Amino acid sequence: MPELTDGCVKPAQGPIVPLAQQTAGAAHTEPQEVHTMVARVGKEAIDFEANAFISGVGFRTVKLSDYKGKWIVLCFYPGDFTFV
Amino acid sequence: MAAVAARYPALKALDVEVLAMSTDSRFVHKMWQEQELSKMVEGGVPFPMLSDAGGRIGAMYGVYDEAAGVDIRGRFIIDPDFIIRAMEVLTPEVGRNPDELIRQIKAYQHVRATGEVTPSGWQPGQPTLKPGPALVGKVWEVWKP
């Protein structure tokens, strides 16, 4: 597998807020707008894009909606090299 | 995270995609995988490890701790229609129970396939409930805790 080139800093979109949730004319997601949307059961998942490490693959950008149509388990955890 | 990785074959058998996410960078994810996780679980963590730098994604999922600057332990089951079916959020000092995660996925998959509902603690093969007027007041006949 060819080694992927990857810079020190690679932007990823983070939360992807539907257009209706964005203020008119705002080019980027405003943090305050972001906080008005919170995940709830029974509601559509909030899409996002993030940088990722995938074992055996390398560094990739992953979008939650890439997995639409499948069952997804999304696990947050406090940090690498922690104890539990 | 290693505990979820250890149960990955069971999750894969249920056609589940796992995504792990913390505020660490992808570089640290790589080091953790190579230096530690691969020694805890054979093959290490086989699913993508995502970076939530800045906690903006965690904030939307209600798991970002601003004071600590990290995402606390939260897990979400999302169905093929992209609907969040279940969430569990724990403060950091207690780990998850992957068996309960797997039980919930099996129950949600059964419900989706059959339209039945599953009572408390349901395991595959156990009786389910068929909601409707005929069941009102009669649950006791078909199910007891």
> Which pLDDT tens digit goes with each residue over A24-63?
555 555 555 545 678 999 999 999 999 999 999 999 999 9
Q: Does the CB of A78 have a partner CB in chain B at under 8 Å?
A: yes
pLDDT for the residue numbered A1? 52
CB pairs under 8 A between A and B: 189
Sign of CA dihedral A41, A42, A47, A52: positive
List the domain range (segments joined by +) for residue A65: 1-84
* DSSP annotation of A43: S
- Exposed (0-12), middle (13-18) or buried (19+): which is B114, by Cβ within 10 Å? exposed
Closest CB from B51, B58, B71 relative to A52: B51
Measure in Å the smallest separation between the Cα of A47 and chain B Cα atoms.
9
Within chain B, what is the greatest distance between any pair of CA atoms? 58
Q: Which two tokens stand for residue A19?
A: 């257009």
Closest CB from B23, B24, B61 relative to A39: B61
Closest CB from A37, A45, A62 relative to B50: A62
Fold of B2-113: Glutaredoxin (3.40.30)
Measure in Å the smallest separation between the Cα of A37 and chain B Cα atoms.
6
How does residue A4 score in pLDDT terms, banded at 50, 70 and 90?
low
pTM score: 0.87
Tell me, rounded to whole angstroms, the distance of Cα B95 from its chain centroid. 12
Name the 3-class secondary structure at B112: helix
The residue among A63, A64, A75 with the most chain B CBs within 10 A of its CB, best to mutate, is A75
pLDDT for the residue numbered A23? 55
- CB of B81 within 8 A of CB of A43? no
Q: Does the CB of A40 have a partner CB in chain B at under 8 Å?
A: yes
Our CA dihedral for A13, A10, B39, A64, rounded to 10 degrees, sits at 20
Q: Does the CB of B135 have a partner CB in chain A at under 8 Å?
A: no
Q: Does the CB of B63 have a partner CB in chain A at under 8 Å?
A: yes
Nearest CA in chain B to A81: B32
The Cα B16–Cα B31 span in angstroms is 25
pLDDT at A22 over 70: no
Tally of structural domains, chain A: 1
The residue among B11, B18, B19, B25 with the most chain A CBs within 10 A of its CB, best to mutate, is B19
Question: What is the per-residue DSSP string for B7-51?
Answer: THHHHHHTTEEEEEEESS-HHHHHHHIIIIIHHHSTT---S-EEE
The Cα A43–Cα B77 span in angstroms is 12
pLDDT at B117 over 60: yes
Closest CB from B1, B50, B80 relative to A52: B50
Domain boundaries, chain B: 2-113, 115-145
Tell me, rounded to whole angstroms, the distance of Cα B76 from its chain centroid. 5
